[in-house]
Structure 1
Amino acid sequence: MNKLLVLFILCLTLVSCSNLPSSDLPTETQPALNVPEKIEPTLIEPEKTIVTRAHLVAIGDILLHEAVYLDASTTQGSYDFSSMFTKVKPFLEGADIAVANQETMIGGVELGLSSYPTFNSPYEIGDALKDSGIDIVTIANNHTLDHGEKAILNGINHWDRIGMLYTGAFKSNQDREDIRTIQKNDITFSFMSYSYGTNGIPVPEGKPYLINLIDLPLIKQDVEKAKLISDVVVVSMHWGNEYEKKPNQTQIDLATELSDMGVDIIIGHHPHVLQPVDWIERSDGSRTFVMYSLGNFLSGQVGLEKLIGGIGGVEITKTTFEGKSTIALANPSFLPTYGYYDNWRNFEVIPFYQLNDSYLPNYLMHYEDTQNHLKEFTNEITFNER
């Protein structure tokens, strides 16, 4: 009897000494449970669409006849062209990117300044363009080789000194392979320039880099390279027939070829008169903006149509979503200008809306004619008046 009592008390003691509540003791009828850890939901914001825009403008030929650089000469023996651009400077500076065609090589006074038919110009025109807001100059044209390799290299050295990008003529093969790019508002632009010829002057043997000639396989190769490093491809073409107010079939065909390659903006030079602007539609719904000829911007030529030029522009929009970007061009614009001079002095580029009859008799009629001419192929163009 006493043995049974001792055994009962011992069992009670063992149970009471356990650290586990009786309900937590595993039994055959109550297995242990693995409760998963509670996970708080994570909110993932949808990727935002990013839209940026840039405004590109271009001007026509800077063609420095003797009268122009003589008018720019100073008593110190240098040259100052800055006053010739005073009235158009705000429009060039106001753009995100401004492009000019420097028709005459700036070989400097040491090579002897010269005018038509073989030009060589002062370095200082480069300084004036830089000061006016130009970001890049195109130098592939029929006058590139007028004073040979030395004038080209002198000019390139000066462009480098003042920090001005150039394209179309180069100092070496390596220099040519370096596609010029400019980035504005997260949009990268690439620039190339080509000429139909060199007025019969042969390109020095083994030095094709001294000028880009129009060669479709070469251009296609350059464009494909440019598309890998830029969003927008801009090509300047020295083409067409002098003094013809409409593009010829060769220009139209070349523009179509360039558009098919993926060129977004085509800037035309050489006719020395204005030609209409146009759009070229691509099969994927995108389009190319082409300015067939921007005429003369600054020159000493004679005749009203050769003195009317302007600042052509277009707006570029880049839309980025989920890591992919698309480019759209819209809102082409044009500011007609007049290359005024008086008795071969006081050269000045003046916006048409700032003219009066003392500068150009019947200027309003000429202004209207210029507008109608520019929009002959498309009405999708506005004309800046302020």
Structure 2
Amino acid sequence: MRRLLFYFSLLTLILVVSSYYFVQKKYMEPQFSSIQDKVTGSGEEINTETSEEPGNQSTVITSTATLSAVGDVLIHDRVYNPAHVGNGQYDFMPLLTPVQAYLGEADISIANQETMIGGVGIGLSSYPSFNSPHEVGDALKESGVDVVTLANNHTLDRGEEAIRNAIDHWNKISMPYIGSYVSSKDRMKIRTLERNGIIFSFLAYTYGTNGISVPKNKPYLVNLIDEEKIEQEILEAKELSDVVVVSLHFGKEYQRLPNVEQKKLARQTANAGADIIIGHHPHVLQPMEWIERADGKCSFVAYSLGNFLSGQKGDYKDIGGIMQIKVVKVDINGEKVVKLKDPSFIPTFVGEDYVVSPLKQVAGKEAVYKKIINHMKQWMPDLKFSF
């Protein structure tokens, strides 16, 4: 009888301890199911949720921001001459009006300003040594562009004077620029922008400068592709931001698919920690792709966004587009998780009058539009073609 009473008491004690453990575990574990719902579902730009369950007081903040990008802004004389309005003044706004709403729709928009806007003071010029009016920058700014990349093969076309003139104007209109700088101090400052509680950082590099040597004592004039330097600067950018955006001027002109070198560099850049990689230089569209990183995360790469505004015609050189991707950050008591989702793309077309329009709205281009859709989504079936 005593032995039976002992076993009954022991069993009761075990049941009491087990019940206490499971109750405490329930209260102490973070509620990951609600976080997953916030990441995959739609919601407000910033959403804060506080749990007040006994033994667990946690705060979950969900933030959402969109980033868009366009390809090359390559201003030939046949583009800037018709834009002249007299007295050395130019107006490029009519060329961008049909796509202005798409550029302004995103929280941050980036453009590759391939030609330096050194201004009329040093003389405008076209291919092969470009120099463009300041007003190109004004039109981009007014159309909703927030950042311009300057590292490309034409950066040194007109030398340091054009670079300084251009950067003076970018500063005048409060437009952040990346990839070309006026001093070492200027170059050391990593550009960041914050939208809806999410901090983005921006870096840019080019494969070369058309054979023009970068002054040895002024390497800051243009960022050249250097894998070790890129990796180091991505690490520095990650300390300052939630999302690292890297622009790469690479590949072969007029090739509609990325080459082996592009894919290799994109993967290395992703594994170094870049979240979004934006490519340009081929002057034609190349597909987009998700890159699975060694750390288990995914990076997004657009190998080439083609020409956005240029004087080039035919063979897909007059087709570009506006890319957009959504960034979602979930912050749980200071621990953050960042995800990319909903990649989308609006193909654009530069007409005979150099007006940039959504390709879908251009009469007679229906078959071309379908080809571009198939081309751009061949490695990314989830790519959407509306914002």
Q: TM-score, normalised by structure 2?
A: 0.85
Paired position in structure 2 for 1:6: none
Q: Which whole-Å CA distance do the structure 1 matches of 2:330 and 2:261 have between them?
A: 34
- Work out which of the two has the higher radius of gyration on C-alpha atoms and give 1 or 2: 1
Structure 2 residue aligned with 1:307: 318
1: CA distance between counterparts of 2:261 and 2:238? 25
SS of residue matched to 2:193: strand
Mapping 1:215-234, distance limit 5 Å: 215-234=226-245
Q: Which amino acid aligns with 1:223?
A: I
For structure 1, which runs of at least 5 residues remain unmatched after alignment? Answer: 1-41, 358-362
Alignment gaps of 5+ in structure 2? 1-52
Q: Which residue pairs with 1:251 in the alignment?
A: 262
Counterparts of 1:55-70 in structure 2, within 5 Å, are 55-70=66-81
Which of 342, 354, 374 is residue 372 of structure 1 equivalent to?
374
Q: Cα RMSD (Å) of the superposition?
A: 1.2
For 1:159 and 1:284, locate their aligned partners in 2 and report how far apart those are by CA, in whole Å.
37
User: Does 1:382 find its partner at 2:346?
Assistant: no
Counterpart Cα distance in 1 of 2:104 and 2:129 = 31
| AA at the equivalent of 1:214 | I
Q: Which whole-Å deviations, capped at 9, do the CAs of 1:8-40 have from their partners, x for residues lacking one?
A: xxxxxxxxxxxxxxxxxxxxxxxxxxxxxxxxx
Contact 2:253 2:281 in 1 (8 A): yes
Of the structure 1 ranges 222-231 and 277-286, higher mean CA displacement relative to structure 2 is found in 277-286
- Which aligned runs of 4 or more in structure 1 are off by greater than 4 angstroms? 42-45
Q: Deviations over 1:55-91 (max 9, x none)?
A: 1000000000000000110034300000111011001
Q: Distance in 1 between matches of 2:131 and 2:198?
A: 35
Matched residues in 1 for 2:323 and 2:354: separation? 21
Q: Which segment drifts farther, 155-164 or 47-56?
A: 47-56
Determine the C-alpha separation between the residues in 1 that align with 2:119 and 2:334: 48
Specify the alignment match of 1:340 in structure 2. 351
Structure 2 counterpart of 1:289, which letter?
Answer: F
CA shift for structure 1 position 185:
0.6
Are 1:243 and 1:271, in contact at CA under 8 Å, matched by a contact in 2? yes
Shift of 1:44: 6.4
* Greater mean alpha carbon deviation, residues 43-52 or residues 79-88: 43-52
Q: How many Å apart are 1:46 and its aligned residue?
A: 2.2
Say whether the 8 Å CA contact 2:88–2:120 is kept in structure 1. Answer: no
| 1:283-298 aligned within 5 A | 283-298=294-309
Shift of 1:376: 1.4
Matched AA of 1:103: E
Deviates more, 1:73-82 or 1:97-106: 73-82
The answer to whether the 8 Å contact 2:252/2:281 transfers is yes
| Counterpart contact for 1:71–1:347, Cα < 8 Å | no
Taking structure 1 as the reference length, the TM-score comes to 0.85
After TM superposition, the structure 1 stretch with the greater mean CA deviation from structure 2, 375-384 or 124-133, is 375-384
1:71 is paired with a residue of what secondary structure?
A: coil
Question: Can you list the C-alpha shifts for 1:361-384, whole angstroms capped at 9, x where unaligned?
Answer: xx1100000000001112020001
Does residue 365 of structure 2 align to residue 354 of structure 1? no
> Are 1:74 and 2:115 counterparts?
no
CA distance in 2, matches of 1:239, 1:196: 6
Question: 1:271-290 counterparts in 2 under 5 A?
Answer: 271-290=282-301
Q: How many residues align?
A: 335
| Residue 241 (structure 1) aligns with | 252
What is the match of residue 5 of structure 2?
none
- Deviation, structure 1 residue 304: 4.0
Cα distance in structure 2, aligned partners of 1:49 and 1:85: 40
Name the CA distance, whole Å, in 2 between partners of 1:162 and 1:350. Answer: 25
